[in-house]
Chains A and B, each alone.
Chain A
Amino acid sequence: GAVVSQHPSRVICKSGTSVKIECRSLDFQATTMFWYRQFPKQSLMLMATSNEGSKATYEQGVEKDKFLINHASLTLSTLTVTSAHPEDSSFYICSTQESGAPGYGYTFGSGTRLTVV
């Protein structure tokens, strides 16, 4: 099945700095990738949809200037948390869906635990 690699798995950064998270589809080309955020003991919330070669689509309430998404190739999407603050500390998870494989082809990365101190 599809494999999605996410890196880093954990990162600790100082308040005010920026952090980049990478999401790679290893064995297929992904025109669309999704970014989710999960706070402790809560569910996953969709942040944005990343489209290869075009601008990302952000969900209501998600600041596009704070969470920069770049999907420059069919196998890589990056999420950059800019000027991070402690309230941005969360578990960030990417996912992608193989074209022609609805539902079942929806694969998640292993997540990135971001801690802002």
Chain B
Amino acid sequence: GQQLNQSPQSMFIQEGEDVSMNCTSSSIFNTWLWYKQEPGEGPVLLIALYKAGELTSNGRLTAQFGITRKDSFLNISASIPSDVGIYFCAGQLSEVGDGLTFGKGTHLIIQP
């Protein structure tokens, strides 16, 4: 089946630093999504990407969908303590009706 390779697995950073994480895949996805998950909760959508090359921002978060539709990155600028959590990339093969394939997650830890 499809796999998403997400890196890094974990990040230890100082408050105020910028963060970058990325995902790659051997498959082409129609939609690419970035989620954040807190302990004991379901994932919460951060950014959705639909078009190849699309660059989208949501506050301090910026994500881009690769031209080949096989990769994406997520950047967080000026990190704050509430950014702590696990970030997942996820891909959807078709527009509607397909479940998501998730990356393994990036655990973000922020030191004050």
Binding site for B on A (CB under 8 A): 4, 6, 9, 32, 34, 36, 42-46, 49, 59-60, 91, 93, 95, 97, 99-100, 102-104, 106-111, 113
Contact = CB atoms under 8 A, between A and B. Distances in A.
A93 B41 CA distance: 9
Interface string B17-50: 0000000000000111101000011111100111
B33 A103 contact: yes
Nearest to B35: A108
Contacts of A93: 42-43
Contacts of A107: 45
> Which 7 residue pairs of A and B lie closest in terms of their CB atoms, listed nearest first?
A108-B42, A103-B31, A46-B99, A102-B95, A103-B48, A104-B48, A43-B102
Interface residues of B, number: 28
Contacts of A46: 99-101
Nearest to A4: B42
Interface of B: 1, 30-33, 35, 40-45, 48-50, 88, 90, 92, 95-97, 99-105
B53 to A, nearest CB: 16
B24 to A, nearest CB: 15
Contacts of B88: 43-44
Given A97-B96, A113-B40, A104 B45 contact: yes
B45 A106 contact: yes
A108 B33 contact: no
